[in-house]
Structure formats: C-alpha cells, structure tokens
Amino acid sequence: MDNNVSSIYGDNMPAMEETVRELSEYIENMRKELKVKIGMDPVEHYLTRIKKEESMREKCVRKGFPVNMNSALVEIKDAIGVRIVCAFVDDVYAIRNYIKESGKYEVVEEKDYIRHSKPNGYRSYHMIIKMNNRFFAEIQLRTISMDTWAALEHHLKYKKEVGASTELIVSELKRCADELASTDLSMQTIRDMIFLN
C-alpha cells in the first residue's frame, strides 16, 4: 500500500485483528459444545480473514459508497469474514441455530442461499453479526461440496473472453451446482439412516 494513502480502516486494524481472534475462539468453543450435543464435530474446517484494503476500496466503489472508514466498517459489513465448512447440510443449520441461540452476538442479517440458491447455482448460508457493538462480521456456512463449487466457480469466472459460450458455461455451472446439491441431500439421508437407526 502507498505510504501516502491512509488505511481505509483508520487505526482499527489492531482491534479488528483482536476481534478475529475472539471469533476464532468462539468457533472453537462452539465446536466443543456441539460435539457433545450432536455427537460429532460439525465443522470440517474454517477460515477467518480481514478483507484486504484494496478489495475493500474496490467494493466501496462498486457499491456506490464513498471510499472511507464508515463505508468499510459500517455500510458494507464484511470487513471481517469467516467461512465455516461442514460435512452435512444439517450441520450448517445446527451452527446457524447455535449462533442465534447463544445470544453472544447480535444477528443483523441472514440470507439462506441453500434453500434459495442464486441463479448461477451458488449455495451458502450467510449471516451478518455485530460483535461487541463495534464491528460487523460476515459468516458463510457451507457444506464441503458447496465450498468446492464456489472455489472452482471463483477460478473460472476470471477467465477472459468467453464470448458466445457464456450462456452454455453459466448453464453448466448451474447443472454442476444442482448435482452437488443432490449429492449433499443423499449424503445427509445416508447419515440419518446410520445415526437414527
């Protein structure tokens, strides 16, 4: 970053880093509690991040917000992010319920892209929480297959000059997403058969 350009996060970076550490600790405690409650760890893995300043500046412009600290930390609400990847769809909702019922953080927004997928096939459960009445964080909850599709789609969408084949590519991506969603449901059914018998 240019030394003449001030941080879009102002002097909040140390506090944001501490917030990410706190969020990681919360997730680890949640894993332990849910393992006792449901008999297994519902989290395959998780990633935390603070959005890079360049990405945040670009998002401010794309969303039509001024490129400043208020836009980055109040209006956009995803400067802090965590992606939690689960094996099964039921685990996604178990974690969602835990976060809501724990009362530790205020849930300010939820979007269920699992039951209502985006037109391109994207599936995930998104929550915006407010932490300690200061910072917002976006939590994305996905199964392994949803995460795999999103990662591959992310790589593919930056391919240049796809031209006339764009419609076919979009259709194929949607088909793959639907097949993976069907697999998720089948795997959930198999788990239910094993553990409910």
CATH code, domain carrying 37 = 3.30.460.10
Distance between CA 78 and CA 9 in Å, rounded? 12
Q: What is the pLDDT of residues 142-158, one digit of tens each?
A: 999 999 999 988 877 66
Confidence at residue 191, expressed as pLDDT on a 0 to 100 scale: 86
Q: State which residues form the domain around 20.
A: 1-197
Confidence at residue 164, expressed as pLDDT on a 0 to 100 scale: 55
The total number of structural domains that make up the chain:
1
Q: Assess contact for 143 and 89: CB atoms under 8 A.
A: yes
Phi, psi of 114 (to 5 degrees): -90, -55
pTM of the model: 0.88
In the structure, what pLDDT confidence band is assigned to residue 133 with cuts at 50, 70 and 90?
A: confident
